[in-house]
Every structure is written in C-alpha cells, then in structure tokens.
Structure 1
C-alpha cells in the first residue's frame, strides 16, 4: 500500500512514516521542510504547503491512503483557523488525486466527544486547548459532504514511548465516558492509524482510540 502522511515531522507522523515503511508499505511525506525528514528506502519526501491544492493533488496521486496528523500545539494564538482553512483544500486535493482512504487525526475532547471526558479533562478542553479544538470541530463538519472514504480518529492523551499494548478502538457513539486521563504513546497510536487506514469497514466512522480501561460503554 502507498500511504501519504501529512504532519510527517510531528510526534505521531514520525512514528507513522517509520512504521509504514517497517510494514513494507511505500510512504510519501508531504512537508514544509524536507530536511527534517530522515531519508529511508521506500520513502518519498515532497516539499509543499497545505495551502497549495494543486501541489497536494500532485503529491497524493497514486496513494492508496492519506493520513493527516497536522495540528497546532497549545498554547495557540487566537484566532485559530488552521484546520478550517486547510482541511477543505486537503480533501479536495485527495478527491482530485483519486485517493481511496482518508484518515484524519483529531483529538479526544473535540466536538461532542468533550462531554464524555472526566471533570479534569473537561477543564483542559474548555481552557488550554479550547481554540484549537473548536477549529478542529468546525472543520470536521465538512467531511461527510466529501466523496472520500473518510474516518476521523480521536486519540486520548498522548506521550512519547514504545509501541505498547494495542489500543482500543471504539465508535464514538458506543462510548459513554472516558474516565480519568487515559494515555497512549505516539507509537501505539501510529500503529492503530495504519490498521484503520487499511480497513474499509471503518469508512464514515468517528473512532475513539484509547486504553483498555480508558472507556465505558454508553448506557453503563
């Protein structure tokens, strides 16, 4: 499979590219700074901007899947519009390029997922990352109108570390609560994203990615 990664120099993206190559996939990293990407066999690095639809369509052509890990880190200057500004261009470029699968990495706490968080998590959602998460939520409303086989992924709190126990993947509608502040590693999340990208049955779904104990079913 040929996989294009947006945000390939970020925390998740670096692991995503490495694991894709380790699994025998071909990878394309579409980045602002190619010098920040370590060369590897099977990896094509393309310089480009998220504002350039034509360049993205050219880079995405021939890809079986596109995984977007782009985003801002808090604190962020207001107003925040990165995702509202770029996601429509990304999806339009993916459609033009004929990409089969599109996986968008969001975050637990974005949109209606915030109501499922613990009190401490809700405090963070409404303060530290409020503007970033609002931007994500507004941009994601455009996905159902695209012609892509899209999946939106909402990982819980993330940190650096080894690829540990497999993450639990649940449709957002099946989740009632996410107690505490469950944490996964970037590496484990990257592995999960590759599995999701390869699974067409997850198209059109919004998925929570969490730990084994980091969720309670709806109605419980």
Structure 2
C-alpha cells in the first residue's frame, strides 16, 4: 500500500514511517522540512504544511491512505530523556495553538481533493469520557481533561471534523508516549481498557496506526484506544 504520513518528523511520525517501511509499504513522508528525513528504500518525501490545504493535497496525491501524526509542537527528539520529553509535551499541551483544529480540517479537504478515502488520525486518550476505563483511570482522564483543557478543545474540534466526514476514518487515542524500544505488547481496539498514564513506546503506537491504515477493517469509522 502507498501511505502518506503527515507529521513524519515528529516522535510518532518517525516511528510510523519506519514501521510502514518494515512491513513493505511505500511511504510518502510529508513535512514542512522534508529535507531532514533520511532517505530509505520505498520512501519519498514531500513538502506539506497542514495550514495550507493545497500543499497537503499535492503531497498526498497518488496515495491510498493517510496517517496524521500532527499535534501541538513540542520539539521532541529521540535523544531526549523521557523526563525532558514529558516536560516538553506538557508545555505544548498548555499552549497547543490551533494545529489540530485547523490542520485536520485542511487534511480532510486535501483527502477529498486528492481522492484518498482512508484517514487515520492520531489523538489522545484524554479525549475519552472515560466510561470504558477503570474508576481510577477514569478519574485520571478527568483530571487531565481539566488541566489540559486547551489541548482537549483543539483536538476535540479536530475529532468532530473527522467523525463528520465521509472518509473511511479511524481515530487512534493513545496513552502517554515515551522513547523506548517497541515491544508490540499493547492493547488496542474500540473501547479498549488501557492505563492512560502507563507510558507506551512511540514505536508501539506507530504499529497501531499502521494497522489502522492497512489491516483492521473492523476499525473503520471507529475510535480506537491504544496503550498498556
């Protein structure tokens, strides 16, 4: 399958690119700075800015599925330790901007324009109302929703736009993520009971996103939780 990955230079985006290539897919990595992406077999890079729908439409042209890994800018890098990464993510969630609320509708418009029907959006477990989680984890999600209300609002607008679209979408709500070796030992599925604060490697989240785009037909037009 030919997959476009938007936000390919981010923590999850890099791992999604790696995982899709490992599985033999052809990958189009879309980023504002595609020149920083290392070359690889079956990998092409294209310039795209989610605040410019026309640039995204050009970038995803000819692909069969799109995986969006965009989110509040946190300047994550693989050489960061997890404490530093967590601080950056927290800062980004306090001041998320509008990358999701503006970017996702532009991606949807680009998919329509380019004729791409399958869209997978990375989101967060904090968008859940917690009804599928344990009592303690439901309380944790509720607390995080109150603390990071700006990020929840921004992502909520994005999720609603995806749900209202006529695409074959999947929204993947991930737990807290960390830099660590992937294990492929994770829980994923609609209403899956996960632990929101038990950190999941970026690589495992990436595997779930690739599955959502390529091999999980029962997930179409569903919200999927992924975590431990």
Instruction: Give the TM-score taking structure 1 as reference length.
Output: 0.85
Q: Which residue of 2 aligns with 1:217?
A: none
| Offset at residue 202 of structure 1 (A) | 1.1
Alignment root-mean-square deviation, CA: 2.1
Moved more, 2-11 or 178-187: 178-187
Q: Tell whether the 8 Å contact from 2:175 to 2:195 is kept in structure 1 after alignment.
A: no
Which structure has greater helix proportion?
Answer: 2
Q: Which residue of 2 aligns with 1:170?
A: 189
Mind listing any 5+ residue stretches in structure 2 that lack a counterpart?
73-88
Is 2:115 the counterpart of 1:98? yes
Q: Which residue of 1 aligns with 2:221?
A: 204
- Mapped partners of 1:79, 1:194: distance in 2: 25
1:73-106 Cα shifts (integer Å, max 9, x gaps):
3314657322111111110101211113100000
Instruction: Give the direction of change, closer, same or farther, for the CA distance of 1:179–1:20 in structure 2 (3 Å limit).
Output: closer
- Mapped partners of 2:197, 2:100: distance in 1: 25
Q: Tell whether the 8 Å contact from 1:149 to 1:203 is kept in structure 2 after alignment.
A: yes
Instruction: Give the TM-score taking structure 2 as reference length.
Output: 0.83
Is 2:155 the counterpart of 1:132? no
Instruction: Give the direction of change, closer, same or farther, for the CA distance of 1:124–1:103 in structure 2 (3 Å limit).
Output: same
Q: Tell whether the 8 Å contact from 1:64 to 1:99 is kept in structure 2 after alignment.
A: yes
Q: Tell whether the 8 Å contact from 1:95 to 1:147 is kept in structure 2 after alignment.
A: no
Mind listing any 5+ residue stretches in structure 1 that lack a counterpart?
212-220
Q: Tell whether the 8 Å contact from 1:111 to 1:133 is kept in structure 2 after alignment.
A: no
Moved more, 37-46 or 76-85: 76-85
Is 2:211 the counterpart of 1:191? no
- Mapped partners of 2:196, 2:3: distance in 1: 34
Q: Tell whether the 8 Å contact from 2:3 to 2:66 is kept in structure 1 after alignment.
A: yes
| Offset at residue 121 of structure 1 (A) | 4.5
